[in-house]
Chains A and B, each alone.
Chain A
């Protein structure tokens, strides 16, 4: 084999870990990294992510460097000696099975608490809002003044979710037709909406602001544009907003200024 060819391919394979690490190092500067986290449990989720990234990153770079080294050192153009035939090494195989298995077991146990916080330890409270996923929008229903869903004073909205800051929020997630996934990137929440199921989702937002709701399960031709907006605001602003929306929903006269109608809702 051509020595030049051997050098070329070795360097090509070396480029993979080099570029891989470089991409991760440079990405945050281009704002291509995790979205801003404004949730309480987001911290533990993100630190799990970083831990696994570091662990797998180190292993990745190490194995890639090893592969590069073998490609370089044992290039047939340079290393003309005959190949050594061995029957494998039992010790080596045991070692490189036990160590990854132990790592994975460690990871599985290490993350259990975070998983339980997000998916199992439901706060004992009445739902703040019912979210029904539909092709291709998010239909919301707030319980209204009586605090119970399914009564005539419910507030019906589309795509505009408001929640109070620094308070536990419980969402009842349903789907009207097919599988969707309720994804709040900035709140580190993602839950598939399964037709026929009523799935509780909870979080506590720690900062005010407007963030995205996106659909994370392919649901049809409009999946890419199935966006909503979640607004985190103070409890007073939230209550005021609910009152205003409810008054608009109960309107028996057209609004005085039609140009304000964009602010009204269904």
Chain B
């Protein structure tokens, strides 16, 4: 510092010392987190399960093997276990496939499309996306403008665009725990708009390298709609109107186009439901059949394969813990169904079959 003027020396000190102290605070925070088993998750996505999965997905990017299968959907797809899909494929072909389950509660198709395009593909593009659907997607589908607002508020969506600013943001995110936990730290001072639900935080924290989270599945028979499910009866009461004005089926087309533009094969999976789920719909089986028909038609229109593992979508009651969520046996069954479908259609391996576009006569 000799030869420098007083003000230059002060300027250096005023910049360097706070930065140094900040780095020390970051290191201390990192140590604190390491010793805090119930620490909250960084709030990077609308729901903590997805935040945990995002962190796991970033770690997956370090794996040299290509990502062959990506599972997406709402909470029912949390029960599709990627580890079991891998086991099934390994058992039947001797091959090891890398896959990831990015399903998370309440995530709409349009949100998943943006998640795929803006975040997941830049980190590590999958070869096949299996997206699960069920009538509740009608209730939770977001409009593109809502998703746009949501993604603008989530820093991770800007981090993978490949621009110098995105690289800087990504670098700082990776380097600083304080930055990673910004929303969590802030929300301890400012009342949170969306407080984290402990159960989902716990699930997100326990996301393994394949995106699987340990689901508790009480082994008791489903005899009817539970109190939470009763609420859906009211929400589905205008089913005709819901079907008429939903953007869900258009968004399946958009998702297929996005996948196709990136050389990814999309599979539309009709998630099986317990027979009691029909009680949520005003005209029961008829309404459900209309939904499945529309879903199938959307898949056909988009030129993507349709996986309907249970006949007509109504599953074996013994495989469920409630109207739509599988129990442990159901998880095994669903995972095997997905694996078998992918193998039968030749969608795994170096050159998965890219289905023709509708314009090409699919």
Partners in one complex: no
